[in-house]
Amino acid sequence: RALRDPHRPRFHFTSPGGWLNDPNGLSHWNGVYHLFYQYNPLAAAHHRIHWGHATSTDLVHWADEPVALVPGTDGPDRDGCWSGVLVDDGGVPTLVYSGRHGEHELPCVARGSADLRYWTKDPANPVITAPPEGIDITAFRDHCVWREGQVWRQLVGSGIRGAGGTAFLYESDDLRGWRYVGPLLTGDASRSQGELDWTGTMWECVDLFRLGEDEEADSTDVLVFSAWDEGTTHHPLYWTGHYKDDTFTPTALHRLDYGGRYFYAPQSARDEHGRRIMFAWLQEGRTDEATAEAGWSGVMSLPRVVTLGADGRLDQAPVPELTALRRECEEVAPGALTEPYTRLGAVRGDQLDIETTLRLAPGSTARLVVRETPDGAERTVVEVSRTHDGGGTLLLHRETSSLDPTVDIEPRYGELPLGEDGRVDLRVLVDHSALEIFANGRALTARVYPTRPDEAMGVGIGADGDVALERFAAWQLASACADGPRPLWP
């Protein structure tokens, strides 16, 4: 069933079937990239979560590996093996994950075989037996673990009731015995609930890393988390700041991806080339019933390289390896965009990589339309605009992306820094229902579900006001995954 679904991406990683959510245990181990993920092989629903596993040598083509973690028949992870990380414990690959039992999670550890295929859970699990005493917490799960001097350090995602989301800091000599150090940082739950940068009541999947690490003096620490609140809030944010003396002193708070829940629970790792690579989970935008019917759920984002931009924020771009999938290319000659909209007869498809450079005068808007049906009734519109006072906006209109009244078609938007003379470098990757947009280093990820996917192949461009098109190239992208069925339990 999943194979026949026209909404299933072909160059994004998806699970063989069933349910996928967060990326876990990201690592580059002896030249091989390992991507583990929250997985339910039995149904396209979030239930009794396992750890799926896939490997790649190029970050483009992935091979399914045996399921890495299975919930216990009893014990601390009997109701699920929730999110976590992989660390190198003196040459032994070691997982730190959240064992779920009943409605609660606690940190657990597993040792891996040299090929990272087979995992043995530690008999001492859970390695932290209770959340910090005397604090009224909202949750306690997800891990970021690193080596600092002679010790291991760990963050556990949490929230302090009435105060806000938080990350608790721990320390250990052996990954088994942990001393509580204190809260690293706490958000502000009272602040503007519902705002796009509200930090929520719980921080899921905290991820702390340093950028510019070779120049200690100029380095910036980044604390990524997924702001969560029951039913209302699911979006990735990050603080920039400085981590020192057991605390994180924030400089600023930013949105990580303007798609919100469509780029959720990101996790990153430094690869053997020194790059910071990030993945996240693209949730579904269709109903649970439609998802169950499709037989699969959840898309892994394209791997992104994350760097520090000149403005002190994160710059995000798909890994350059993806260009290996580029096939036929169509270009549009440079010139002024004088029409509000022109369909590009030569460019069409549902697996595309589009790169364009635009120059926007104050008060102008440029648009790129994808996944358009011949009658235009279904179309997805990416817009970049420049206001009269010089500010920029990146906007994704999904209101007309589907005639199906049950799918999510809410627009998404965020602030766009403009280059010199209103320059915008825009890259749009279309992979069936998955859409990843990068504009001047900012990212916006979402899902779209046209009801006539086989016809929704059209692409077009246009503008209001004074916009120059300096470059436009669109490549057909080859599929990265095998055509045949994949065993759910390799």
Nearer to ligand DQQ by Cβ, of 22 and 383: the residue is 22
Establish if 257 lies at the interface with ligand DQQ (CB under 6 A).
no
* Widest pairwise Cα distance in the chain: 68
Establish if 301 lies at the interface with ligand DQQ (CB under 6 A).
no
Q: Site for ligand DQQ (CB under 6 A): which residue of 110, 265, 381, 416?
A: 265
Token duo for residue 304 = 């992104």
3-state helix, strand, coil in the chain (%, to 5): 5, 55, 40
- The least distance separating ligand DQQ from the CB of residue 143, rounded to whole angstroms, comes to 9
Contact present, 321 and 33 (Cβ < 8 Å): no
The site string for ligand DQQ over 187-216 (x = CB under 6 A, - otherwise) reads: -----------------xx-----------
Q: Site for ligand DQQ (CB under 6 A): which residue of 26, 49, 223, 424?
A: 49
Establish if 79 lies at the interface with ligand DQQ (CB under 6 A).
no
Token duo for residue 460 = 């077009």
Nearer to ligand DQQ by Cβ, of 20 and 407: the residue is 20
Looking at 385-478, list the stretches that DSSP marks H as alpha helix, in order from N- to C-terminal side: none
Distance CA 435, CA 351 (A): 10
Distance CA 61, CA 13 (A): 8
Binders in 97-126 for ligand DQQ, by CB under 6 A: 98
Q: How far is CA 255 from CA 85, 124, 198, 225, 239, in A?
A: 23, 38, 10, 10, 9
Establish if 240 lies at the interface with ligand DQQ (CB under 6 A).
no
Residues present in the chain in total: 490
Alpha carbon 105 to its chain's center: 23
The H or E element that residue 126 is part of is none
Establish if 142 lies at the interface with ligand DQQ (CB under 6 A).
yes
Q: Site for ligand DQQ (CB under 6 A): which residue of 11, 13, 39, 82?
A: 82
Alpha carbon 19 to its chain's center: 16
Binders in 303-342 for ligand DQQ, by CB under 6 A: none
E strands, 149-285, where?
151-160, 164-172, 178-186, 202-211, 220-229, 233-244, 247-255, 264-270, 276-282
Contact present, 387 and 362 (Cβ < 8 Å): yes
Task: Show Cβ contacts of residue 120 under 8 Å, excluding neighbours closer than 6 positions.
Answer: 110, 111, 112
Asked if 122 is an active-site residue, the reply is no
Establish if 40 lies at the interface with ligand DQQ (CB under 6 A).
no
Nearer to ligand DQQ by Cβ, of 243 and 264: the residue is 264
- The least distance separating ligand DQQ from the CB of residue 344, rounded to whole angstroms, comes to 38
3-state secondary structure of 422: helix
- The least distance separating ligand DQQ from the CB of residue 462, rounded to whole angstroms, comes to 37
Nearer to ligand DQQ by Cβ, of 186 and 357: the residue is 186
Q: What angle do CA 245, 251, 255 make, to 5 degrees?
A: 120
Token duo for residue 276 = 């910071």
Nearer to ligand DQQ by Cβ, of 189 and 381: the residue is 189
- The least distance separating ligand DQQ from the CB of residue 158, rounded to whole angstroms, comes to 10
Token duo for residue 130 = 């209770």
Binders in 344-403 for ligand DQQ, by CB under 6 A: none
Distance CA 207, CA 142 (A): 9
3-state secondary structure of 448: coil
Total of residues contacting ligand DQQ (CB under 6 A):
13
Establish if 158 lies at the interface with ligand DQQ (CB under 6 A).
no
Establish if 83 lies at the interface with ligand DQQ (CB under 6 A).
yes
Nearest to 167 by CA among 196, 140, 130, 200: 140
Which of 22, 64, 229, 271 is catalytic? The answer is 22
Binders in 407-436 for ligand DQQ, by CB under 6 A: none
Establish if 22 lies at the interface with ligand DQQ (CB under 6 A).
yes
Establish if 469 lies at the interface with ligand DQQ (CB under 6 A).
no
Establish if 141 lies at the interface with ligand DQQ (CB under 6 A).
yes
- The least distance separating ligand DQQ from the CB of residue 193, rounded to whole angstroms, comes to 20
Nearer to ligand DQQ by Cβ, of 142 and 431: the residue is 142
Nearer to ligand DQQ by Cβ, of 83 and 380: the residue is 83
Nearer to ligand DQQ by Cβ, of 83 and 365: the residue is 83
Nearer to ligand DQQ by Cβ, of 43 and 332: the residue is 43
Establish if 19 lies at the interface with ligand DQQ (CB under 6 A).
no
Contact present, 83 and 92 (Cβ < 8 Å): no
As beta bridge partners, residue 89 has 92
Establish if 439 lies at the interface with ligand DQQ (CB under 6 A).
no
Residues catalogued as catalytic: 22
Which residues of this protein are in contact with ligand DQQ, per CB under 6 A?
21-22, 38, 49, 82-83, 98, 141-142, 204-205, 264-265
